[in-house]
Amino acid sequence: MIDGDVLERVLSAATRRGAAFAEVFAEDRRSTGFSFDEGRVDQVTSGRDRGAGVRVVVGDTTGYAHTADLSEASLIAAAEAAAEAAGVGDGAARVIALDGSGPRRHPVGEVRVDPRSIPKDARVDLLRAADDAARAYDPQVVQVSAGVADSRRRILVANTDGLHATDEVTRVLFRVNVVADADGGKQTGYQSMGRTIGWEAFDEYDVAAMGSDAARQAVVKLRARPAPTGAMPVVIARGTGGVLFHEACGHGLEADHIAKDASVYAGRMGELVASELVTLVDNGSMAGEWGALGIDDEGHPTQHNVLIQDGILVDYMWDHLRARDAGRAPSGNGRRESYDCLPMVRMTNTYVLAGPHDPDEIVAATDHGVYIAELGGGSVNTATGDFVFGMREAYLIENGRITEPLREGNLIGNGPQVLADIDMLAGDFAMGSPGTCGKDGQGVPVGDGQPTLRVSSMTVGGTAA
Amino acid sequence: MSVDIADLVASLAAAARPEEQIEAYASRGSSTEVRVWRGQVEHFVSAASEGVGVRVVSGGRTGFAYAGTLEADAVAEVLAEARENVAYGTADPDAGVAEPDGVEPVDIELWSDELDRFATADKIELALELERMVLAMDPRIRVDDANYIDGGGEMAVATSTGIVRHRRGNSCHVSVSTLADDGDETQTGFGYSIGDHPGEFDLERAAREAVERATRLLGAEKPPSERTTVIFDPFVTAQLLSIIGSTLNGEAVVRGRSLFADRVGDIIASELVTLIDDPTDVRAYTATDVDGEGLATRRNVLIDAGRLDHFVQSTYSARRAGVVSTGNGVRGGYSSTPGTGCLALQLVPGARSRDDLIADVDHGVLVQSLSGVHSGVNTVSGDVSVGATGMTIRNGALATPVREFTVASTIQRLLTDVVEVGGDIEWLPSRAAGVSLVVRDVSVSGTS
C-alpha cells in the first residue's frame, strides 16, 4: 500500500517535535453485501474504504490524525497534525530504518475460495435457500430477511521501533431474521454465521438449516410465557454463553481499564477470581474464527493468551501503550475499527475450556431455574463489575427438566460473583455465533465459546409475579 | 484542489440514463476529540473524512456503492459498481429515489462560526477545567475520563428527479465519567453538556451531575423483586423514547415488523403522552432542515394525547403505504442507503419538577441509568427488560441506593402506564430529548 521509504519519511515527520513513539497504520477494505427481505433481493452494496492514520506519542499524550489519501504529501500532513496534537516532547524515538525486505506477513488461516471469485448470482441462491426454508418451516412465519456479506481487509503497520508488518483478512457473514405472528403478538428468531475464511465456509454451514432454525426459534416463542423475576440457577447451553465471560470478566481484564483502576479485577493478579472450574483464554490466532486476525492493528502477531487458569487470574490483555508502561510485551490485543480510530485493548476470540460435567446431568441437577438455549448481546460496567446479557431463546427448568419457553429479557449479575458461582461446567465445548464488540464507539468482530455451564444464582429480569 | 460536493452530486445525478434514477450523496467533515486524565491530555484525535454513496434504481431494482474518498477515479468506480449491482436486485415497484414534494426546508441555522473558530488550546482547557471541577467537588471522586468533542461538515444530496440540497452544520459537547470510591466499593457516574458553541456549556452542572450520580450509589444494594412505580430520569427517558420511536416507523409497519401496525387512530398510550418528532426544533442536538433523501424535515406529532396519529415515513415506506414521506429518510452517512426513522424525538413536558414527582410517590424506584438496552428490548414483540441503577423512593423522598436489578415491562404497557410527565425537559447529545417520566406497575427484579 505504501512504500518503505515513504513510511520512513512519514515517521520522521511524525517524530520531528520529539516523540517517544510514532506509528503509521494503513488500511484498504473492500466489502460486498446482499440483503434479502420479503422474498426479494432488497439491496446490493459494494464499498471501499482506504486510508491511513498516524499516531504520535509524547509522554502520556497521544496525538492522532488520519487521511483517506495515501499520497506522500497527505501522509506527511497527517504526521505533522498528529505531532502537533501530541505536543512537543523530549522523546528519543528515532526511525530505525525499516527492513528492506518489506513488511512481514502473518497470515491467520488460509482462504481456499476467494469470495471475489463467486458470482453474485450464487449469493442470491444462498439467500433464497434460507428464505425458502424459513417460510416452509411453519405457516406462522410472516416475514424473513437475510443477508450475506464478505470483506477483505488489508492492513499495513510501521512504527519507530522498526516494526513493519502487513496482514490480509477475509471474512464472510450470513444472517437470517424471522418474524412469526399469532394472536398473541409477534416474535422473532435469528441465526448467524461468521468466519474468518473464504467462501468455503458455506461447505461447513447449511444456510437452509439456519433459516429453519431461526423460524423454529420465532415460532417457539409465540407460546412463550413471561420470564420469572428474582435470583435463581441459570444453565447456559454450549456455544452460546461466551458473551457471559466477555462481559463478566473479559472487558474487566483489558489493561486500559486496569491502568485507570476502573476494573474490579485491578490489583487481583494471582488471586482466585472465579470458580476453580474456569480457565479463560483469549486467542486471536484461532484460525477461521470470527475474531481471528494475523496481526493486531498495532502490528503485533496475535497469540493464545491464558487469562484465568483454574480460577486464578494470571494475565490481562495488552496493547502497545499499556504494555510499554508495564514493561512487558504486548499480547496482540491492540485493535481498531478502522484507520480513522485509535487502537485500544480489545478481545479477539474469548472462550472457557471444557469442564468435567455432563450437560444432561447439569439440567437434571437443577430443580428450578432457567435454561438459556441462546444468548443475545450484553454490556458491562467494568468499574463495578455489574453486567447484563440478553436471552434470545430460553426455557424454564422444572424438577430437572427443560419445560416451557420464556419471553426475552436480560439477566443481571456482578462479574466476580457470577464467576465464583459457576458450579457446573460440561465437556461439550463449542464456539458461538459471530459478535461485534463495542467499546468507546468502535465495533470490532469478536468470537466466543464455552461448554454447557450452570451459574448457581443469577437475577432474571422477567415480568412474572 | 478541494472538490465542491454540491457540484459532484449534481453531476452524478445528471449522469442518469433514460431508464435510470440516480441519487448521489456526499459528505465532508472533520471532528476533534480531546480526552484528558489526571491533568494531562490522554489523546487528541483530529479526524477528517469524506465520501460519496450512489444509489441507482432501474426497472424497480436498486444497486448501491460507496467510497470513503472523493477522488475522481473512485467516484467513477462507485457509479459503475452501483449500476452493476442493479442487475442482481429484484424488481420492487415501490423502489425509487425521492421526488420534489414542494415543501421548503425551514430556515434554521445549524452552523456556528464561534465553534468553527474555537481554538485547539481552548478545547483542551475546557476538558481540563471539567476534570478539575469534578475533582474539587468531592474527595471520594476520581475521573475516568473527561472529554471535549466537536464535529462539523457539509453534506449534499442530489437526485435525477430534481432534488439538490446542500447544507452544513456543526456541534459540540463535553462529557465526564466518574468513579466514586468508598473502601473496596466503587460506583460510577457521568455528566455532559451540549451547546451550539462552547460558550453555551454549563460545566458546573455537568460536573455536579457526574459527582452526584456516582456518590449517590455508594452503598447500593439489590432491591427486592416487586411491581412498583418507577420514575425514569431524563437521560433514561430519552433512551426509552428512542426505542418507542423505532416502533412508530412506517418501514417496520409495511415490512410486518411493528407492534403498532393497524393501530393508527387508536389510543395506545396514556392521554398524558404526546410524542413529537421535530428535527426543525433547533434546541435538538440532531436538528436538521433536510433529511437523508434531500426532502425538507418537518414537525410530526406521532402520538397525540395518547392517540396514535401516524408513523414516520421515508419515500420508500410512504409509497408502499400509499401516503407521502414525512421527511424521515435517515442515513448513517455516505456508506449506507437511506432508511426510515425518527430524527429528533421529544415528549411534550408536563408542569412539575422532579422533586414534586418524587413527593407524590409513596413507594417506588428512581432509575438513573440503564444497561443492556440493545440486548433486552425487542421492538417487534415489545418485550423490555433492562439492567438499572437508582434510588428507592419511600414516603415521597429518595431513600437508599440500589443496583444490580432489572426493570421489565412491554413497550405497549410502558406507554399506557405513564402516570405523569415531568416539566424538566433536557436536551441531550442524542436523537431524543429527556424528561422525567413516572410509570406505574413496572416489574423490578432484584433479590427473590
Which pLDDT band, with edges at 50, 70 and 90, does B379 fall under?
Answer: very high
Q: Kindly report the CATH number that applies to the domain delimited by A4-29+47-105.
A: 3.30.2290.10
Which pLDDT band, with edges at 50, 70 and 90, does A110 fall under?
Answer: confident
Q: What is the mean pLDDT of chain A?
A: 94
- The answer to whether B89 faces chain A, any CB pair under 8 Å, is yes
Considering only CB atoms, A342 lies closest to which of B43, B404, B444, namely B43
**Is the predicted pLDDT of residue A104 greater than 90, yes or no?**
no
All domains of chain B in start order, with CATH: 5-214 (3.30.2290.10), 219-240+349-445 (no CATH)
State the architecture of A115-157+167-221 in CATH terms: 2-Layer Sandwich (3.30)
Please provide the size of chain A in residues. 465
CB contact under 8 A, A47 and B385: no
The pLDDT, as a whole number, for residue A100 is: 64
- Express as a percent the part of chain A with pLDDT over 90: 88
Measured from the Cβ of residue B2, the count of other Cβ atoms closer than 10 Å reads: 7
**Is the predicted pLDDT of residue B448 greater than 90, yes or no?**
no
What are the distances in angstroms from CA A201 to CA A286, A289, A368? 15, 11, 39
- State pLDDT tens for residues B3-62: 899 999 999 999 999 999 999 999 999 999 999 999 999 999 988 899 999 999 999 999
Residues B270 and B417: beta-carbon distance below 8 Å? yes
Q: Which of B150, B120, B384 is nearest to B247 (CA)?
A: B384
**Is the predicted pLDDT of residue B90 greater than 80, yes or no?**
yes
**Interface A-B: count of C-beta contacts within 8 A:** 261
The pLDDT, as a whole number, for residue A454 is: 98
CA distance B351 to chain A (A): 31
- State pLDDT tens for residues A29-67: 999 999 999 999 988 888 999 999 999 999 999 999 999
Residue of A nearest to B85 (CA): A44
Give span(s): CATH 3.30.2290.10, chain A. Answer: 4-29+47-105, 115-157+167-221
- State pLDDT tens for residues A265-285: 999 999 999 999 999 999 999
Q: Which of B210, B207, B218 is nearest to B181 (CA)?
A: B218
Which pLDDT band, with edges at 50, 70 and 90, does A95 fall under?
Answer: low
Please provide the size of chain B in residues. 448
Read off the pLDDT of each residue in A116-127 and give the average, rounded to a whole number.
Answer: 93
- The answer to whether B131 faces chain A, any CB pair under 8 Å, is no
CB contact under 8 A, A48 and B49: no
Phi, psi of A444, rounded to the nearest 5 degrees:
-135, 150
Helix axes A120-137, A207-221, angle to 10 degrees: 30
CA distance A224 to chain B (A): 11
> Which one of B90, B188, B407 makes the best mutation probe of the A interface by having the most chain A beta carbons within 10 Å?
B90
Which pLDDT band, with edges at 50, 70 and 90, does A170 fall under?
Answer: very high
* Angle, CA of B332, B116 and B164, to the nearest 5°: 45
- Termini Cα distance of chain A: 61
The pLDDT, as a whole number, for residue A176 is: 98
The pLDDT, as a whole number, for residue A105 is: 77
Which pLDDT band, with edges at 50, 70 and 90, does A241 fall under?
Answer: confident
Read off the pLDDT of each residue in A298-314 and give the average, rounded to a whole number.
Answer: 97
The pLDDT, as a whole number, for residue A183 is: 86
- The answer to whether B395 faces chain A, any CB pair under 8 Å, is no
- State pLDDT tens for residues A394-438: 999 999 999 999 999 999 999 999 999 999 999 999 999 999 999
What is the three-state SS of chain A?
Answer: CCCHHHHHHHHHHHCCCCCCEEEEEEEEEEEEEEEEECCEEEEEEEEEEEEEEEEEEECCEEEEEEECCCCHHHHHHHHHHHHHHHCCCCCCCCCCCCCCCCCEECCCCCCCCCHHHCCHHHHHHHHHHHHHHHHHHCCCEEEEEEEEEEEEEEEEEEECCCCEEEEEEEEEEEEEEEEEEECCEEEEEEEEEEEECCCCHHHHCCHHHHHHHHHHHHHHHCCCECCCEEEEEEEECCCCCHHHHHHHHHHHHEHHHHHCCCCCCCCCCCCECCCCCCCEEEECCCCECCCCCCECCCCCECCEEEEEECCEECCCECCHHHHHHHCCCCCCCEECCCCCCCCEECCCEEEECCCCECHHHHHHCCCEEEEEEEEEEEEECCCCCEEEEEEEEEEEEECCEEEEEECCEEEEEEHHHHHHCEEEEECCCEECCCEEEEECCEEEEEEEEECCEEEEEEEEECCCC
CA distance A14 to chain B (A): 14
- Which residues 335-374 of chain B have a CB within 8 Å of chain A? 335-337, 371-372, 374
Considering only CB atoms, A49 lies closest to which of B68, B337, B387, namely B68
Residue of B nearest to A321 (CA): B42
CA distance B235 to chain A (A): 17
The pLDDT, as a whole number, for residue B2 is: 78
- What contacts B355, CB < 8 A, 6 or more positions away? none
Read off the pLDDT of each residue in B116-132 and give the average, rounded to a whole number.
Answer: 96
- State pLDDT tens for residues A189-218: 999 999 999 999 999 999 999 999 999 999
Sign of the Cα pseudo-torsion (A356, A359, A365, A370, in order): positive
H or E element: which one contains B254?
A: helix B250-254
The pLDDT, as a whole number, for residue A160 is: 94
What is the C-alpha to C-alpha distance for residues B324 and B300, in angstroms, rounded to an integer?
13
CA distance B350 to chain A (A): 29
CA distance A126 to chain B (A): 13
- State pLDDT tens for residues B139-160: 999 999 999 999 999 999 999 9
The pLDDT, as a whole number, for residue B112 is: 96
Q: What is the mean pLDDT of chain B?
A: 96
ipTM associated with this complex: 0.91
Residue of A nearest to B409 (CA): A463
CB contact under 8 A, A390 and B376: yes
